[in-house]
Structure 1
């Protein structure tokens, strides 16, 4: 075998030479010296010297194939780019002169008084084709504001904020973010710190340059630690509980707190979140009947503990190790508990960027304690970043590119059944997030944006919808038994009798606090995890069927019987989400991704309002929906928006709009 290699190389070399010989040498079967522009033989014969183009080798063909693939991918990216940030309507629709107009009527149509019907209900006449043609069925929640039928109803009601639709139309997500920046123009107050004393003077050894805090006794630190690990860490499992007790809590309790060491920073962040968890469950509401408990809108619980962490983070902020990533994620969770959404996002993206450096530069043993820690922070970063991308169109750092190389989170040692149950929730949320991403992209790709007639509303084909529903139902059917539920028992306790013993005939979620039994320490996080999982499932189903709501509002004459059923399923999927019910609505500081729920509730309230406006929607609701459930849902969502407007920018902006649209609701104008 070895002796044949030189011969093989010589044959390949001769083949290459032969492939480059001129036509004259080929015809005479003589060796060509390949000189240009004429070889030696052609010079001697004084004839024209012609060379054939060399045929591509197998290696060359592979490169060509790869380049063709890249070109196809670039073309797809270009197409997506043109669809992601288009104008919702043609510019000619905004104003007859193609110039932006401050007239609210021109946002919808330049002319025709028939566009704004004087009747309460929109009749079956079509929305003008030129209006609907510019529509892009993007799935971010605030795009519902720009649906022509909804914009028309807002104009007919002369609601406040209608002038802002032009800004939303032109800028999209940046306008939404601007509302959050306006709501919180300043950083969290930094004037509240703990009183400290040098650790050496208190009798601690090996504690040079370290301090202790008389308020932080061992009992207080342990209390906050228990509160954190029984709540926030079960939603986002950033830290290993045993490792924290052994290597962080024990260190700071025995040696004090330093300025540039990670154990001190992580400990302060855990204590701050523990304080939020305690006050967020049992603290005084920031205003009467509010579900935001503890502290105030600008001074949240645990602020002095968080400030001690903030003043130390600057010393380590550029590190790209697991500990720094943990610090950034813990800080981001605290910011979200305070409804500081841009700060939440910034901390998460910083963590994701550092994590990508770590993943690219280090060899990781995934079954080691360090590997387990990296898996935890990776999937936490990835999930948060993707929710922001789905719900706000914010850019991703690229951390999702590592999904196929980073194993799912697990633990290196045996954990308790309760911890295992919570980890199953986290894994289920990871898989559901992936499916929701696929749903968004599939609906986007299947939507025809070039429909030329009113018969072609451009929505995704029904077979595509059915396939997405099949995948979503398969996801639910394949959940572990302890996480499964049916639509009829979506308010019930999970089927985990070995972990939780629910009171007889007592639901886990209810419309009123009085309908629930006493809350145990175990159920404090159970309802958050369960509500998040079930509500996100109904969110996914709502998104799948939502194109048929658009069709019902804008093409009512072309709604088939099947279209009506699918639109009804969308409305059913929007009713009574557990995350908006008690006890979650009374513990909003503990609700993960608070901004996402608020964004979606605004869109749902606008759609539910159209039941009273559109004849087609009204007939669908009358045929397929429970009127009481619709009313209860509206009351729950209005209550949510009224509450979070104290801390959330988009809720604060949209509240006057909702007050105008739902003016008949009792108490809507109460302070």
Structure 2
């Protein structure tokens, strides 16, 4: 009772306060909806619209003011603003989660992350397959439709699951590095005066150097011929520089590459004793003495050593030497500020910079390897870099323009990569994460970006010098199947017996090949005629056209994704997929005689990966209904508009045949090509079993195309 009595007054007070609060809430709600007249008169208002009862009765004007903004309203508005700012960032994180995973892969060897962190950042397979644009072929192989085709391949593709590993490129390079190492044999005392150049025959060295400058130098102009002949070679032979110097190593490397050029045009067959290995090993012995130098000669040595490794299909060592060259080149440029250099030295610095930059870009786009700090000096390296002609007494010519074209194509490749990475990384058909409006906006951005970059490519092609131009309207006639038809080659490619550089091939033969009589006897005895290599000019022209085809395929590859994955397709999607299929066939480097000069083709790993990607898409075009429809559309246009019925079908079949031949010639000596071949065996088993029987080549549409719709 006492407790109740004690609690009584407080209970009554609390009830009174709650009643007062309720009254205030009611009054506030009335004041919120009351018209302006009733509010000013401080009287009740029934809040009828358009006029309340009081204003209607008295004939007053009845105005309702906007309700005042409360603290709750302001809080909700702030929350909406926060969500509007956060949503794009969430999409950005989703789109770039692959880049974040790759960053942790780079940090992983240094112990900067735990296994838990790595596991939490690994993207599930469905998300990995949703990116429309990818620069690397192994990323394209993770697309849903492509992945299902590869998984269903018979025979099963061994090690396919490693493609899903976040550090796949590291695994691939490590497996390639297990191949047998090159022999360490060095020069014997009776060859070139032993391991020194002091007693070597200068005339013999000049002959070998001439071969180098007539082949590799025209495609990789990182030396100056006049300076090398008069200064570098003379100093090395006369003993004016130590035998352990970069100058001596440079001489050995030019001789090694001359041997490679003289025997490497027609065949890639070699063991661990490739041509010129003894001279290369002499250069390797000396490289340790200047490995940390940043002189022009040191950078040149690293570049030429990388070229030799690449000729031997030692891609792991090639990448290592490329990194050495890039780092040394960056130190050289950074340390040259304020120094007086001759015009020749300035030219060589710029050429070395662009050679290293082009190599870095290829490794980055195809293998996702990080670039060095070399790119930070790019703005300083564009001025003219050929004060003297690459071919003495010939004047400025086509080889210099080819080098400039490689530089501009590198920039175009980076522009395409940046533009499409921004415009097309939103999934075309990703459930739940993106609204239909967002998907349509992303599609529009992709179409606009592709149109702009296509205009840039067309403009670039139209501005090529006359010697580099080709007739884009000329139909490409691929090399026919053996024994079926004559062998036409589109200009400017020579027939196998044609010599474009007078004196060069005869010089090579007189130094390194056996006499013409013994060679003829051997040919008659065996019944096998060696395949002539292509000239450097023909190889450069083939690479120019192939690079342009690669850029166009890179540009239109997102449309292949959209056709095989998206539920809603536009006419632009179908046209883009059709353009990709037209651009991916009959790349000039796979057509003889260029395909017989693989040692002179820079970036074999790069081209092998992209040729495998073409074979994958062409197989998908046979098995996927939507891509089959695109092929039928191509066949119809070829017949009705271009009056060339069956032209693309023949080119596509020929491309498959030539690509298979490409890998067959490399599979025994090239670990990278061997990995590509393991994929190709799964999707083209009939060609692997009977590679010379052309009836196993697939048909992409009937030869006699119907004229009616559908």
Pair 1:170 & 2:166 matched:
yes
Retained in 2: the 8 A contact 1:409–1:427?
Answer: no
Retained in 2: the 8 A contact 1:366–1:372?
Answer: no
Cα deviations across residues 426-481 of structure 1 (Å, max 9, x unaligned)? 01110111110110111111124366656649665211110110111111111111
Cα deviations across residues 9-39 of structure 1 (Å, max 9, x unaligned)? xxxxxxxxxxxxxxxxxxxxxxxxxxxxxxx
Cα deviations across residues 226-255 of structure 1 (Å, max 9, x unaligned)? 221111111111100111110122334444
Q: Cα gap change, 1:366/1:562 in structure 2, threshold over 3 Å: closer, same or farther?
A: farther
Look up the match of 2:625: 615
Cα deviations across residues 321-373 of structure 1 (Å, max 9, x unaligned)? 11111111111111111111121111121121122122222224576222122
Residue 155 of structure 1 deviates from its aligned partner by 2.2
**Mind listing any 5+ residue stretches in structure 2 that lack a counterpart?**
1-88, 103-117, 478-486, 503-533, 636-647, 693-710
Question: What is the root-mean-square deviation in Å for CA atoms of aligned residues?
Answer: 3.3
Cα deviations across residues 567-622 of structure 1 (Å, max 9, x unaligned)? 01001110100011111111111111111100111111100101110111112112
Residue 297 of structure 1 deviates from its aligned partner by 3.4
Retained in 2: the 8 A contact 1:297–1:646?
Answer: no
In 2: Cα distance, 1:75 partner to 1:615 partner:
35
SS class of match (1:170): coil
Give aligned pairs, total.
Answer: 523
SS class of match (1:281): coil
In 2: Cα distance, 1:360 partner to 1:548 partner:
43
Look up the match of 1:634: 656
Look up the match of 1:441: 418
Cα deviations across residues 72-110 of structure 1 (Å, max 9, x unaligned)? xx99998886342559xxxxxxxxxxx99xxxxxx97xx
Residue 648 of structure 1 deviates from its aligned partner by 2.3
Q: Cα gap change, 1:212/1:277 in structure 2, threshold over 3 Å: closer, same or farther?
A: same
Of 394, 397, 408 in structure 1, the residue corresponding to residue 369 of structure 2 is 394
Q: Which aligned pairs between 1:87-126 and structure 2 lie closer than 5 A?
A: none
Pair 1:385 & 2:385 matched:
no
Look up the match of 2:469: 484
Of 191, 194, 197 in structure 1, the residue corresponding to residue 188 of structure 2 is 194
Q: Cα gap change, 1:593/1:623 in structure 2, threshold over 3 Å: closer, same or farther?
A: same
TM-score of the superposed pair, with normalisation by structure 1? 0.71
Pair 1:375 & 2:350 matched:
yes
Look up the match of 1:225: 209
Retained in 1: the 8 A contact 2:246–2:286?
Answer: no
SS class of match (2:264): helix
In 1: Cα distance, 2:190 partner to 2:198 partner:
6
In 2: Cα distance, 1:136 partner to 1:569 partner:
16
Pair 1:423 & 2:438 matched:
no
Q: Cα gap change, 1:198/1:614 in structure 2, threshold over 3 Å: closer, same or farther?
A: closer
Residue 508 of structure 1 deviates from its aligned partner by 4.8
SS class of match (1:431): helix
Moved over 6 A (4+): 74-80
In 1: Cα distance, 2:602 partner to 2:153 partner:
34
In 2: Cα distance, 1:594 partner to 1:178 partner:
18
Retained in 2: the 8 A contact 1:140–1:392?
Answer: yes
Of 242, 247, 259 in structure 1, the residue corresponding to residue 226 of structure 2 is 242
Retained in 2: the 8 A contact 1:297–1:338?
Answer: no
Q: Cα gap change, 1:467/1:268 in structure 2, threshold over 3 Å: closer, same or farther?
A: same
Retained in 1: the 8 A contact 2:619–2:683?
Answer: yes
Residue 148 of structure 1 deviates from its aligned partner by 1.3
In 2: Cα distance, 1:611 partner to 1:79 partner:
30
SS class of match (2:652): helix
Rg comparison, structure with higher value: 2
In 1: Cα distance, 2:206 partner to 2:497 partner:
28
Q: Cα gap change, 1:470/1:611 in structure 2, threshold over 3 Å: closer, same or farther?
A: same
Of stretches 169-178 and 561-570 in structure 1, the one that deviates more from structure 2 is 169-178
Retained in 2: the 8 A contact 1:155–1:162?
Answer: no
Look up the match of 2:569: 559
Retained in 2: the 8 A contact 1:491–1:578?
Answer: no
Q: Cα gap change, 1:266/1:462 in structure 2, threshold over 3 Å: closer, same or farther?
A: same
Look up the match of 1:521: 501
Q: Cα gap change, 1:159/1:150 in structure 2, threshold over 3 Å: closer, same or farther?
A: farther
Residue 665 of structure 1 deviates from its aligned partner by 2.6
Q: Cα gap change, 1:153/1:331 in structure 2, threshold over 3 Å: closer, same or farther?
A: same
In 2: Cα distance, 1:645 partner to 1:509 partner:
29
Pair 1:578 & 2:588 matched:
yes
Of 633, 658, 668 in structure 1, the residue corresponding to residue 680 of structure 2 is 658
